[in-house]
Amino acid sequence: MPLGGGFDFGAVVHRGVSGLLIESAGDRVGANTQQYWDATFRREAEEHPFGEVKPEIAGALRAAVQFFGNMEGKTVIDVGCGDGATSLFFVQQGARVISLDQSEVAIQKLREHCKAKHITSIQAFAENAFAIDRYGPADFIFGSMILHHLEPFGEFVPILKRALTPNGRGFFFENNSASSVLTWFRAHVVGKLWIPKHGDADEFPLSPKEVQELGRAFHLRQVFPSMVLFQLIAVYFFRGRLHKQFCVLDRWAYRVRWFRKYSYRQFLFLEN
């Protein structure tokens, strides 16, 4: 299904759920995980305006657009598109977008929105990320908090590479498990007693080893746009109280260049 050639963007937007769901190593998503995300997208549809870009991702989108350059008429695969806010943003930049997410609830809501708003430059598929190369090669690939869900990660990297054109670019906004203290607390404390767990039961932050795997396949630039570490104490242990005070600690820590690698947030810039 080469996008640069005969992919008809006007023909697919009103289709039902794609029949391309495949069984593969990357399809090992438990029923509980699937139910978690379907429920999450149903709840968010009720609580937030559809397609609203959340503040925490706005900076990532600005960085991605700057990295991608002129997007007019280009093809973007938005992998793990969720409610479609990022896909709608890329359409505003003049791109044609392939929106992929494993949640059929999220994809159906995006399709309904596109139909109601007469948006024909988005094609939305309920699809596993390990099938991303079936929709390429694309000029750009964007993902937000998706890579750390994909196991075995080593099998996904060459698939990602095939999904991009020879000069294609990928941008990923991700979490980071470089802090051994943070990952210990996540494994042994979060989700127990009064400490909430945010996210599904199967996910784990992206590891430095997995980032290195990307670096072996692509020209990779890793950026830590801000320090997100101490403020997690406020989020998990104090239910948001003292957040401003812990953010001050993060800002001070960010001044120490070697310490930035422990931030829980990172941007990954990939060039094929």
pLDDT digits (tens, 9 = 90+) for 213-230: 999 999 999 999 999 999
The b/e string for 81-116 (b: 16+ C-beta within 10 A; e otherwise) is: bbbbbbbbbbbebebbbbbbbbbbbbbebbbebbee
Amino acid 41: pLDDT: 65
Neighbour-count burial of 225, counting CB atoms closer than 10 A to its CB (0-12 exposed, 13-18 middle, 19+ buried): middle
Least confident range from 24-38, 197-211, 248-262: namely: 24-38
Contact 89, 61 (CB under 8 A): yes
Contact 242, 249 (CB under 8 A): no
Whether residue 7 is predicted with pLDDT greater than 60 in this model: the reply is: no
Whether residue 39 is predicted with pLDDT greater than 80 in this model: the reply is: no
Instruction: Give the residues across from 140 on adjacent strands.
Output: 76, 169
Amino acid 22: pLDDT: 29
Question: Of 5-14, 239-248, 256-265, where does the model show the most confidence?
Answer: 256-265
Amino acid 238: pLDDT: 76
- Residue of 94, 85, 150 whose CA lies nearest to 121: 94
pTM above 0.75, yes or no: yes
Amino acid 51: pLDDT: 73
Non-local CB neighbours of 73 within 8 Å, separated by 6+ positions? 94, 95, 96
**pLDDT one-digit tens code per residue, 44-102:** 656 666 778 888 899 999 999 999 999 999 999 999 998 899 999 999 999 999 999 98
The single-letter code of the amino acid at 199 is G
- Tell me which of 1.20.140.10, 2.30.30.90, 3.40.50.150, 3.10.129.10 is the CATH number of domain 25-271: 3.40.50.150
pLDDT band at 103, cuts 50/70/90? confident
Residues in the chain: 272
**pLDDT one-digit tens code per residue, 163-215:** 999 999 999 999 999 998 888 877 766 666 656 666 555 668 999 999 999 99
Mean pLDDT over all residues of the chain? 82
Least confident range from 1-10, 11-20, 252-261: namely: 11-20
Residue written as token pair 């670096």: 215
Neighbour-count burial of 130, counting CB atoms closer than 10 A to its CB (0-12 exposed, 13-18 middle, 19+ buried): buried
Amino acid 133: pLDDT: 95
Report in angstroms the alpha-carbon separations of 1 from 133, 163, 216, 253.
Answer: 9, 11, 27, 47
The single-letter code of the amino acid at 203 is E
